Chain A
Amino acid sequence: MAPPAKATSAPFHAQTVSLTLNGENKTLQVEPWTTLLDLLRHDLRLTGTKKGCDHGQCGACTVLIDGERMNSCLQLAIMQDGKAITTVEGLAGEGEDLHPMQAAFISHDAFQCGYCTPGQICSAVALVNEGRAKSRDDIREMMSGNICRCGAYPNIVDAIEEVLAEQQSGSRHLEAAE
């Protein structure tokens, strides 16, 4: 029996999408129903972004879209034309220095199994950039879209608090220099 035609053929029409992925320009053919998460994991083999529920309920698939944290399972790939997407792989390449948030997650043991970790880290990077979190309670509240079944929450809060404090003291230095 001849192998059936590839699913990507007619009657469905793949669309062309151009986006920036971890700093690289990409032009991709995507099906209208493919989520950004499946595009990353299946088509582009960027498996650092995790599928935990596929329903926007767990946060394991969090990526940065134009700097904002988003559940990539709730984003269709076709909607990403012109967007800049950063996944966990884009925070530090092989052999490169870790992003301060990644380093803080290691030093505070802010994970166990590691499956929710890329999503937690992307979410935490965006949280710091948002500039809204001022306290541990704020961090807890604003990180509650990312479930960690291993229960590493206190360490996650510690890690983020440290990066937040470094960033704040860093920006104070900047102000002083001006």
Chain B
Amino acid sequence: MLRNERNFGSPRDRVDGRAKVTGAAQYAAEFNAPDLLHGYVVSSTIAKGRITSIDTQKALDVPGVLKVFTHDNRPATAWFSSSYQDEVAPPGTPFRPLYDEQIYYSGQPIALVVAESFDVARYAASLVEATYEAGAHETDLKLARAAAYVPPKKRQGMKPPASKGDAMAAYAKAPLRIANDYSIANEHHNPMEPHASTVIFEAGGKLTIHDKIQGVMNTQSYVSGVFGLPASDIHVVSPFVGGGFGSGLRPQYQLFLAVMAALDLKRSVRVEMTRDQMFTFTHRPETINTVLLGADKTGRLSALRHQAVAVTSRFEDYQEVVVNWSGILYDAENKQFDYRIAKVDTYTPGDMRAPGAPLGTFAIESAMDELAYAGNIDPLELRLRNYSTRDETTNKEFTSKELRACFQLGAEKFGWSRRSPAPRSMREGRELIGWGMASGCWEAQFSKTSAKAVLTSDGRLEVGTATADIGTGTYTILTQIGADALGLDMEQVTAKLADTTLPKSPVEGGSWTAASAGTAVQMACEALKKTLLQEAQKIEGSPLADAKYEDVVFANGRIAMADDAGRSLDLSDVVRHSGQSEIEEQATAQPDSKVQAQYAAYTHSAVFVEVRVDEQLGLVRIPRIVNAVAAGRIINPKTARSQVTGGTVWGIGMALHEESLTDHNLGRFMNHNLAEYHVPANADIYDIDVIFVPEEDDKVSPIGVKGLGEIGIVATPAAIANAIFHATGKRIRELPITIDKVLREAA
């Protein structure tokens, strides 16, 4: 593929930067419409049971209230729960808001108050009174796991790897043995922008929807399925998404409620969730891993067993990849994997930044650290001794794997060789110092994506695809790719995203967008260039009349002969001569099934952490982290570094702060606000050094890109826990590692 790379591979400022720093960027709740109505959600106060009555009269009596929607008066929507399926739905029967009197979880939406103003809707919502007949609920995984089961229907590609040999027998004979449980608390995504939908009701009943969603096509097909509208009547436009991290993959209940109200009242409606309602749909599932390792005296693994059990809801079998990561990182003659889920009375968990990966990786990489101490082997050396050179879980070769280089460059940058091996052997003042490390991987996915490339008569290029930029830098990298392809400056290129009128794309997630949308844009640009040459050759007396495509270059807004710059045409002249106002081409990128059958593709990372632990106060600080990542080619080192930095901050949150605390008596997440649900604040974050290890990969995607959204978080929690052990001699196997656990006596 022709590569004219002025921008690809170079740090570039975000093209949407000005919009974001001036407040001009518009998010879902910030679109307006004449006579816009405001909806406010009333949430259930019990976790299980049924509504016996719901009194809305007091709310209706408030001047300015138009209607209160409940299960009693909900307008007709699709009958079958399958109509509520969306692109990302796990197996099961999706939740249907206001469907009937049944309560499935605490905080379930039970009414929507619609009023002329937000203040009135909020006040009136406080007057809605529901009475319930409560049922017996269960929200505790430790109890529910007794009924855990292997999900009968798998989410695509989410099967644990096959077992091999006899892991238990090999474990019994092994000179070095580790067997422990490793658990991770429920977490909530908490993007800064609360979920919101603004539904604009237009003449003829068509809808324009501004939804907080990571894929506008998913919103469109969901609304179409639930409300029976043709897709052509549903225009979804969500140019800016204030963080998603997975919470915006599936359409959430505010969308349903806003569309329902708009169609019923024939008015435009906005429904915004409150921060506490952000705890009433989807979360990272509490997960308990059990890992068993057996190794010879040199640390070479002979037995590996990784089991996990995670929560799901009563109505859907949410699943994620937790145990597979062990088998991808390490091979053992005897191994066994098992993943089960257990039903509890909460909403269905959902994908949250690197779903499953940091959970399983925390377990295996903690266990490997324990094995290193048991065998008196350097933790980095132990990983090198067990380095997998092919993916035994899928029985495929890696497209590329530069994890060794991550280890080497990361260790050098960190100064790992200066580590004193014994726990509690490093100290400064009142702080114990610990150095820990871990490695991780994430699947480098590639999803079918279409894009367009349009050249206008003023010589500007527009590239577009329906995917989202949730802060990932998608606008910027697609602008870079387009500019390079046509030989234009980035200022002459506009990227359009998140609009259902654009060529189809899957949701933005799984770290596949840069590779997939990037390739699609590149292909659309290549198609456009061929068309432009053809049009150029139709011009009378064209200096390019006999040129072959291989012989021309696109640069400085012109098509020119590569060996004779004098023979050239201005791109805008080519468009004008074509008789059209613009020239457009589209292309669809899809994975090569032959390559996929033969190869497995992963992004890798090695994380090195220094912690400082105040033993008297139990406070943990993380003054520095080195996160060395091998992710193929990097399109924009500036935004890429931000992605990995952000992922690393998420890893710190998982390791030290984040936990959705449940009162099992009430069956409710209790810390449903940002004061009590701790996410890292500025003062928690010190130096994060991101290294991109060179990695050439011509198989993972046509542009050699692997994706970066997830990898930053994957190995970070394990590396922190390992560093805390090195500092304190205390092995803490439950995340988050809060002060009480640090102060707890060593087990």
Contact with B along A88-120 (1 / 0, CB 8 A): 110110100010001001110101111111100
B204 adjacent to chain A (CB < 8 Å): no
CB-CB under 8 A from B120, the residues of chain A are 7
A53 to chain B, nearest CB (A): 4
B23 adjacent to chain A (CB < 8 Å): yes
A79 to chain B, nearest CB (A): 16
B607 to chain A, nearest CB (A): 15
Interface centre among B13, B21, B117, B674 (most CB of A within 10 A): B21
B65 adjacent to chain A (CB < 8 Å): yes
A135 to chain B, nearest CB (A): 12
Cα of A88 to Cα of B18 in the assembled complex, Å: 12
Cα of A143 to Cα of B682 in the assembled complex, Å: 6
Are B194 and A4 neighbours in the complex by a CB distance under 8 Å? Answer: no
Within 8 A of B (CB), among A142-156: 143-144, 146-156
Closest to A117 in B: B20
Cα of A106 to Cα of B13 in the assembled complex, Å: 6
Contact with A along B549-561 (1 / 0, CB 8 A): 0000000000000
Contact with A along B475-496 (1 / 0, CB 8 A): 0000000000000000000000
Are B21 and A140 neighbours in the complex by a CB distance under 8 Å? Answer: no
Are A53 and B674 neighbours in the complex by a CB distance under 8 Å? Answer: yes
CB-CB under 8 A from A67, the residues of chain B are none
B746 adjacent to chain A (CB < 8 Å): no
Are B645 and A154 neighbours in the complex by a CB distance under 8 Å? Answer: yes
CB-CB under 8 A from A47, the residues of chain B are 23, 26-27, 30
Total interface residues on B, CB under 8 Å, equals 69
B238 to chain A, nearest CB (A): 12
- State which of B285-293, B410-418, B419-427, B646-654 sits at the interface with chain A: B646-654
Within 8 A of A (CB), among B202-258: 240-245
Closest to B244 in A: A113
Cα of A115 to Cα of B244 in the assembled complex, Å: 11
Cα of A58 to Cα of B116 in the assembled complex, Å: 28
Are B23 and A89 neighbours in the complex by a CB distance under 8 Å? Answer: yes
Within 8 A of A (CB), among B631-685: 638-639, 641-643, 645-650, 673-675, 679-683, 685
Closest to A154 in B: B688
Cα of A51 to Cα of B117 in the assembled complex, Å: 16
CB-CB under 8 A from A106, the residues of chain B are 13-14, 17-18, 21
A72 adjacent to chain B (CB < 8 Å): no
Closest to B241 in A: A113
Are B193 and A50 neighbours in the complex by a CB distance under 8 Å? Answer: yes
CB-CB under 8 A from A152, the residues of chain B are 642, 645-646
Cα of A53 to Cα of B153 in the assembled complex, Å: 38
A83 to chain B, nearest CB (A): 20
Are B685 and A48 neighbours in the complex by a CB distance under 8 Å? Answer: no
Closest to A31 in B: B119
Closest to B642 in A: A109
Known: A52-B192, A52-B275, A150-B243. A114 touches B681 (CB 8 A): no
Are B193 and A113 neighbours in the complex by a CB distance under 8 Å? Answer: yes
B191 adjacent to chain A (CB < 8 Å): yes
Within 8 A of B (CB), among A1-42: 3-9, 31, 33-34, 38, 41-42
Are A88 and B64 neighbours in the complex by a CB distance under 8 Å? Answer: no
Known: A47-B26, A57-B674. A154 touches B685 (CB 8 A): yes
Cα of A60 to Cα of B242 in the assembled complex, Å: 11
Are A144 and B683 neighbours in the complex by a CB distance under 8 Å? Answer: yes
Cα of A109 to Cα of B472 in the assembled complex, Å: 11
**When the two chains form the complex, which single residue of A5, A57, A150, A155 contacts B63, counting CB atoms closer than 8 Å?**
A5
B198 to chain A, nearest CB (A): 11
**When the two chains form the complex, which single residue of B23, B25, B473 contacts A112, counting CB atoms closer than 8 Å?**
B473
B704 adjacent to chain A (CB < 8 Å): no
B118 adjacent to chain A (CB < 8 Å): yes
Cα of A127 to Cα of B299 in the assembled complex, Å: 53
Cα of A72 to Cα of B680 in the assembled complex, Å: 22
Cα of A148 to Cα of B190 in the assembled complex, Å: 10
Cα of A94 to Cα of B23 in the assembled complex, Å: 10
A54 adjacent to chain B (CB < 8 Å): yes
CB-CB under 8 A from A139, the residues of chain B are 682
Cα of A88 to Cα of B30 in the assembled complex, Å: 15
CB-CB under 8 A from A31, the residues of chain B are 119
Known: A50-B193, A109-B13, A114-B471. A140 touches B683 (CB 8 A): yes
> What are the 9 tightest A-B residue pairs by CB atom distance, in nearest-first order?
A48-B23, A151-B649, A115-B242, A113-B471, A114-B20, A112-B471, A7-B64, A151-B646, A47-B30
- Pairs A–B under 8 Å by Cβ, sample size 30: A4-B63, A4-B65, A4-B116, A7-B64, A7-B115, A31-B119, A38-B118, A48-B24, A51-B194, A55-B675, A57-B674, A89-B23, A94-B22, A109-B13, A109-B14, A109-B639, A112-B639, A112-B646, A113-B241, A113-B244, A114-B20, A118-B21, A140-B683, A147-B192, A150-B642, A151-B647, A151-B649, A151-B680, A153-B682, A154-B687
Which B residues lie at the A interface, using CB under 8 A? 13-14, 16-27, 29-30, 32, 62-66, 115-120, 190-194, 240-245, 272, 274-275, 470-473, 638-639, 641-643, 645-650, 673-675, 679-683, 685-688
